[in-house]
Amino acid sequence: MATEHPGYERFATEISSLFSARAPPFLYVTDPVSPRTTAVVVNSVLSSMARSDASSRVYHAQINAVACFNARILYDTVLNQLAGWQVEWDTACTNWAGDNEERWNENLDGFIHGLKTVHSFIGRENTAGSTKGKGKQIESDLVTDIRQIVLVIERAERLPDQMPDLLVPLTRLAELTRLDLSIVFVSDVPWEDIRPPFGASPDPYYVDVLALNKEDLLRRLGSTFHAVSSQSEHTNGADSYHPSLRPLYSQFLSVLVDSCSYVQDPNELQYIAAARWPGFVKPILDAHNDRVDEDVDMDGPDEPGLKPPSEHVRMRLIRIFKPSFKTALETLYPRLEHATSWAALNGPEENLLAKPANKTQPIPDPGEVEVDDGRIADLPRMSKFILVAAYLASTNPHTSDVRMFGRGVDEKKRKRRSHKPSAKSGTTKAPQRVLGPNTFPLDRLIAILGALLEENDVDQRLPAPEYLIPGEHTDMEIARVGIYNTIIELSDIGLFHRTSAAEKLDGPPTFKCGISYKMTSALAQQLDIPLNDLLWDPA
């Protein structure tokens, strides 16, 4: 049983020995790294116990607190699973109702009655299955057999938020139902964080699961290769999960695990590996297919089997693909892109191995630059100015405006805040850019915009001889309706946040900037604005 779960042998043994007799009524399994895998292990251990061992029968229901987001769904899911009831469309999706067509999902009491009924129902099911038509003596004899009901609740940290009233009764379910019942919470949050106040719940029996080390991780990941390759048929011989590729796969995994070493969740690593592996073996499969194509003239059916690649080829593949492991991690771990489309984008070129070694580039090409947020890519020029002005207005203190943007006689006067840490006061003020944007009134935004335009936009305007006084043209520009319109538009698409109520009439409307420093500096670069000179507290 333990061998089915590489890396989790100890945990599986502990769970199975706990449930071999009378398990504690309440267990709490903490796995800070990969609670999903742990829950899978718990469930498969319990279901294998339900299948195999005759002396202690364990009937379990596994539910996810995310899916069961209210009490009724939870009750129904548990009872349906325990009774082995399939909810079907044809029967109007009715829930299991027992013999008396009762509803168990009314409230907690109903659920407890339902659990008791399902407990006796399971007993009768079994005896009906094993001893058909025999005397009642035997039946009642078998009913005394150990029947443990186990409820496994995944993502249990959701319970206090979603069903605060239900948390305590769930943890006390064994004493409320007076059955041989255990409840298992699986979560990445320790019990101390969700424990209800005043000791309302009994303390659980704790089981801690630690992160896998590298060997266990490799064993666990490698075992899926075997599972996949035994499922597929290998009809054409050129499958990326062909058994003979297994040594290569383990080497691939070892490199992958090293380069993604801060991800310890086997699920995540599996996701990345599954996205990368087909592209990784494609050159080998291509080469193999080429060979087959050449041979096919001579003898068709006698296809040469796929041979494990030589050490040289392995090293070459790993050298080519190693940079892409990191990009895979950076893109796929936060799910910035779908795995399939990522694999399609980062696939190797055709017949990579046929090319000479010095012509192959590592994947991806190092020259690639990351793409910016799509929202600012094709904004009009004035909108970009407005956004930069808004960032400045949100980040600089308003008292600094005259110093930063004023055009007095003495140009040298502009100076920024000094950066010396003051020795007296212990705390330095954190820069506004990390504390988040301040609100600013519309007038201030317009004024800063005027200053920006006057400094950076004058040269690119069409000649306008009707404006005689310096700055008159800019004043004209910033007074246009279009500017106000653009501001509203930008706040509609979320690059600004309007902080004052829309229906408010008195006073100027106030806003907050909604773009990051990175985005602003990209915009400033496009507009040729020296952003760092204009910031009160530059990075």
Give min distance, CB of 382 to other proteins, in A: 24
Which residues ranging from 450 to 479 are in contact with other proteins (CB under 8 A)? none
Which residues ranging from 100 to 119 are in contact with other proteins (CB under 8 A)? 100, 102-103, 106-110, 112-113, 116, 119
Give start and end residues of each alpha helix (H) in 19-158: 35-52, 71-83, 108-130, 136-143
Is there binding between residue 52 and other proteins (CB under 8 A)?
A: no
Give the C-alpha separation, 34 to 47, whole Å.
20
Which residues ranging from 287 to 326 are in contact with other proteins (CB under 8 A)? 326
Is there binding between residue 437 and other proteins (CB under 8 A)?
A: yes
Which of 123, 309, 348, 450 touches other proteins by CB under 8 A? 123
- From the list 88-96, 202-210, 378-386, 522-530, the region that binds other proteins by CB under 8 A is 202-210
Give min distance, CB of 426 to other proteins, in A: 6
**Which of 171, 229 has the CB closer to other proteins?**
171
Is there binding between residue 83 and other proteins (CB under 8 A)?
A: no
Using a CB cutoff of 8 Å and minimum separation of 24, what contacts does 141-146 make? 145/55, 145/57, 146/21, 146/22, 146/55, 146/56, 146/57, 146/180
Is there binding between residue 235 and other proteins (CB under 8 A)?
A: no
**Which of 157, 286 has the CB closer to other proteins?**
157
Give the C-alpha separation, 316 to 310, whole Å.
10
Give the C-alpha separation, 185 to 207, whole Å.
10
Which of 4, 73, 206, 315 touches other proteins by CB under 8 A? 206
Q: Kindly give the interhelix angle for 311-332 and 266-295, rounded to the nearest 10 degrees.
A: 140
Is there binding between residue 434 and other proteins (CB under 8 A)?
A: yes
**Which of 167, 453 has the CB closer to other proteins?**
167
- What SS3 class is residue 203? coil
Task: Show the tokens assigned to 157.
Answer: 């940290």
Task: Show the tokens assigned to 448.
Answer: 């800063």
- What SS3 class is residue 205? strand
Which residues ranging from 137 to 166 are in contact with other proteins (CB under 8 A)? 139-141, 143-147, 157, 165
Residue 223 bridge partners (DSSP)? none
Site string for other proteins, 327-346 (x = CB under 8 A): --xx--xx------------
**Which of 204, 450 has the CB closer to other proteins?**
204
Q: How far is CA 48 from the centre of its chain?
A: 30
Give min distance, CB of 262 to other proteins, in A: 3
- What SS3 class is residue 201? coil
Between the CA of residue 478 and those of 139, 388, 401, 503, 516, what are the distances in Å? 90, 15, 18, 24, 24
Give min distance, CB of 124 to other proteins, in A: 9
- From the list 208-216, 224-232, 308-316, 482-490, the region that binds other proteins by CB under 8 A is 208-216
Greatest Cα pair distance in the chain: 113
Instruction: Go through the chain and tell me how many residues it has.
Output: 539
Q: How far is CA 251 from the centre of its chain?
A: 27
**Which of 69, 206 has the CB closer to other proteins?**
206
Which of 52, 86, 91, 99 touches other proteins by CB under 8 A? 99
Torsion of CA 467, 470, 473, 477, to 10 degrees: -160
Which residues ranging from 494 to 533 are in contact with other proteins (CB under 8 A)? 497-499, 512, 514, 516
